[in-house]
Copies of this chain bind each other. A is one copy, B any other.
Amino acid sequence: MKQSQLLFKAQREAPKDEKSVNAKLLVRAAFVDKLMAGVYSYLPLGFLVLKKIENIIREEMVKVGGQELLLPALHPKENWAKTGRWQTEEMFKLKSRGGKDYGLGWTHEEIITPLVKKFVSSHKDLPLFVFQIQNKFRDELRAKSGILRGIEFIMKDLYSFHKDEKDLSDYYEKVKSAYFKIFARCGLKKETFLTLAGGGTFSKYSHEFQAVTPYGEDLIYLCRNCSLAINKEIIEGEGNACFKCKSKNLEQKKAIELGNIFKLNDRFSKAFDFYFKDVKGQKKIVFMGCYGIGLGRLMGAIAEINNDKNGIIWPKEVAPFLVHLIPIEASKKVIKAADNLYDDLQNQGIEVLYDDRYGKGAGEKLVEADLLGIPYRMVVSEKTLKQNSIEFKERGTEKMRLIKISNVKVQMSKL
């Protein structure tokens, strides 16, 4: 894409009304825009990142057998009354002109369970895995931390249905691995800790995926003895000792919750009277699991963790473009070389942002490039062209090197 055609331009100053690192960077670089507290718009560059994250999640969900569907955001009161969750304070409620009560979905057990029930009667129909990527709403008293905690937010939620607890447990482990892959592909491999958490009303324990960062709003505890990560709630229940080895040698870390996985067991199948016939023809209750990832929150965490004083440093797989091509002079020779390189890279299937704003100064262009955070920067200038080369730099490193233009294709295929 040519940068001259980019409609929403980065701003010189960080926004004054944002406190969190992620929002300061993302708003300034025009990836997102704040409509009101807890509600953001995704501008074209941010939308590209969101789609990259979405595709990574989709790919990994399909690999664990998930089939994608799309459930509504507007829910009838009746479904929530059945599980006793209509009164949940965080649920936005509204009335139609005709007097009907609706809630806005902050999760979808109350919708997916009766839906799947219509299609499942026998053990032959199980197990069954469905997921969606969809907008959710939650009436948070204090929406804060930029796009980390919103009152409107995009979630992937996967639901699994099983013939027994063992089958649920096996699948739960598969999803655990899939989640590690997703966060690794999003550039958060070394920060992500599987963290033991409470199970809510469903089962004894669940797991959170927490990304450690000094600006996280959660607290987790790493046991130095047995490498277990445990959330605050559990640690306090255990008298500030490790859940497993009882050691008090714990390291407290701030973290951002990227996702969570729950064994729901029969909590919702019971509420919706959801049984199946087993091999012997006997009526058995369905076991369920649910598995969530917040997409906006994940994008926020990536920006919050991957940055320096100059801007964001997007990990390759989620970057809006892979290469930022920047000619810093406006001579015929430079323009021609940059135009050719742009075509060549695109023909190679590489996503390039081409800074074709030839009226702008080199300094301004390079500052903006750092702010946008595209992984590879190629600078074209009179000087480098004398050696038939471009200057190549990876965002987040200081090392610059000259690469022969004839060699760019080979170099890029190696990355």
- Within the complex, the shortest CB–CB distance from A77 to chain B, in Å, comes to 10
Q: Would you call B70 and A36 a contact (CB within 8 A)?
A: no
**Contact partner of A69 among B36, B39, B43, CB < 8 A?**
B43
Q: Does any Cβ of B come within 8 Å of A56's Cβ?
A: no
In whole angstroms, how far apart are the Cα atoms of A410 and B93 in the complex?
57
Contacts of A118 in B (CB 8 A): 33
Count of A interface residues, CB-CB < 8 Å: 50
Complex alpha-carbon distance, A33 and B112, angstroms: 11
Closest chain B residue to A42 by CB distance? B70
Structural contact, A44 and B67, CB atoms closer than 8 A: yes
The reply to whether the CB of A50 lies closer than 8 angstroms to some CB of chain B is yes
The complex places the Cα of A50 from the Cα of B70 at a distance, in Å, of 10
Per DSSP, chain A at the interface is: mixed
Q: Do B141 and A35 have beta carbons less than 8 Å apart?
A: no
Per the bound structure, the CA–CA distance linking A14 and B50 in Å amounts to: 39
Number of copies: 2
A130 touches B76 (CB 8 A): no
Complex Cα distance, B40 from A377, in Å, reads: 46
Q: Mark A81-108, 1 if CB is under 8 A from B, else 0.
A: 0000000010011101110001010000
Q: In chain A, residues 41-72, which have Cβ atoms closer than 8 Å to a Cβ of chain B?
A: 41-44, 46-47, 50, 67-72
- Tell me which residues across on chain B come within 8 A of A80, comparing CB atoms: none
Q: Are A7 and B67 in contact (CB under 8 A)?
A: yes
| Residues in B neighbouring A50, C-beta threshold 8 A | 70
Known: A41-B115, A89-B97. 11 other contacts (CB 8 A): A7-B128, A35-B76, A39-B72, A39-B74, A44-B67, A72-B152, A73-B137, A92-B94, A92-B96, A98-B141, A135-B135
